[in-house]
């Protein structure tokens, strides 16, 4: 019994270590739809493991770009904002919302080569309200 309990603690410890550099991103309904993997150079993956975007520093801003090189929005204080400054996704605790239990993540697919990115637009005043665009639609 002691060996089984020790084995469980080792597995839990490894799971925690593996996920330590991943930040779950929740939509306006509190559902985890995507996550940022900092071990993969701040790549954003959909929950099924599909790489869809990445975060890149531009001056003092953290900008979100698609793998086609297009500018999508900003990442600030755990919140992803669209081009108009509305919230499209957030990490747990960054905005007040009740989050649902996370499903098991899919296996990560191969990350594409990062393209040359487009010019970052001037950041709008960031709003404290959610966009009409869902997090999934925003990232795809």
Write the pLDDT tens digit of every residue in 75-131: 999 999 999 999 999 999 999 999 999 999 999 999 999 999 989 999 999 999 999
pLDDT level of residue 10 (50, 70, 90 thresholds): very low
- Let me know: does 67 contact 114? Beta carbons within 8 Å: yes
d(CA 60, CA 50): 28
Q: Where are the domains of the chain?
A: 22-139
Q: Within 10 A of 136 (CB to CB), how many other CB atoms are there?
A: 16
Tokens of 90: 């957030």
């Amino acid at each position: 019994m002691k060996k089984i309990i020790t084995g469980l603690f080792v597995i839990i410890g490894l799971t925690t270590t593996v996920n330590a550099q991943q930040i779950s991103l929740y939509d306006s309904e509190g559902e985890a739809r995507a996550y940022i993997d900092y071990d993969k150079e701040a790549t954003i993956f959909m929950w099924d493991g599909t790489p869809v975007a990445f975060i890149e520093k531009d001056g003092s801003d953290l900008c979100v770009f698609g793998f086609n090189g297009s500018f999508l929005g900003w990442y600030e204080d755990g919140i992803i904002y669209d081009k108009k400054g509305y919230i499209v996704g957030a990490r747990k605790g960054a905005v007040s919302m009740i989050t649902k239990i996370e499903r098991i993540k899919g296996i990560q697919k191969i990350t594409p080569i990062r393209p040359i990115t487009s010019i970052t637009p001037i950041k709008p005043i960031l709003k404290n309200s959610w966009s009409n665009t869902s997090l999934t639609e925003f990232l795809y």
